[in-house]
Amino acid sequence: MQIYDLFAKISVEQPEKYLELYKSAGTALKIGAVEDEKSRERIVKLLRFESSAGEDLTTLDAVVERRKSGQEQIYFISGAGQKKADVSSSQSIGEEKSIPTDEQACLHL
């Protein structure tokens, strides 16, 4: 059993435990989603994101399911957590900054 399969099993059978595990492994999974093209679809299902729709981390599939009728696109703001992303959304678009891991992962989905 590959580690991705084990993570997927834990995410379904023990969601709270998976969120604890994700705190440690989330960055590595996001990097994997960028670099491991062969396993990208499997890894994406393991990713969790903050959302303006709630306080808990959520899956991309859950975000897609919550779209309003007729909504075809999903928008995101990257940042080091939701509070910082809210503040950074008012920054100048041309301002130079490094690209956070979340944004790198989202660009490859």
Q: How many domains does the chain have?
A: 1
Bridge partners, 13 (sequence order): none
User: pLDDT of 74-99, one tens digit each?
Assistant: 777 766 655 655 544 444 444 444 44
User: pLDDT of 93-106, one tens digit each?
Assistant: 444 444 444 555 66
The pLDDT assigned to 108 comes to 62
Give the CATH number for residue 21. 3.40.50.11260
The whole domain housing 64 covers 3-107
Report strand pairing: 49-51 vs 54-58. antiparallel
Residue 67 has pLDDT above 60, yes or no: yes
Verdict on whether the full-model pTM lies above 0.75: no
